[in-house]
Amino acid sequence: MQFISPTKGALSFDAMFDEIVAYVEEEPGAAYKLIIGSDSQAREDAVAFVSAVVIHRQGKGARYFYQRRTQRRISSLRQKIFYETSLSLGLASRLAERMSENGYARLNVEIHLDVGPNGETRELIREIVGMVTGSGFDAKIKPDSYGASKVADKYTK
């Protein structure tokens, strides 16, 4: 499945990884976060899921990539949030493995979740955050989960 870069267009996973490394190598002394977030939007007969990968040079900008997929309609909010989280976890695991193989294990990986203390998802926070932290990643929820609530959300429409 391809990733889309707003500036580079369609990229394979390997090409996206190379773009992330090139961005880090531009300023190797800067502080970075690698952020993964997923969001979804229901349609009449299907759900659009978007996963975003953001490499954030703290205080100095970011680059991002996203992939979009469509699945059959999921009516349960709980099931949809768990599926979003599993997409992010799968992508984060794949990226973390590749980073450690290539000497970039120092990059902090965060998973941004589409849950928060306000609204219907507040009941799911504990389970979803536990799922992420139990997998070895940092978890951020709304309002701090801009990887999911801003970047991925932008491409679900």
Cα–Cα dist 119/6, whole Å: 31
The structural domains of the chain, with segments of one domain joined by +, span 3-154
Note the pTM of the prediction, 2 decimals.
0.95
Q: Per residue in 16-29, pLDDT tens?
A: 999 999 999 999 99
State the DSSP string of 116-130: -SSSGGGGGHHHHHH
Q: What's the mean pLDDT in 32-46?
A: 94
What integer pLDDT is reported at residue 77 of this predicted model? 93
Q: Which amino acid is at 149?
A: S
Q: Are 39 and 84 in contact (CB under 8 A)?
A: yes
Report residue 157's pLDDT band, with 50, 70 and 90 as the boundaries: confident
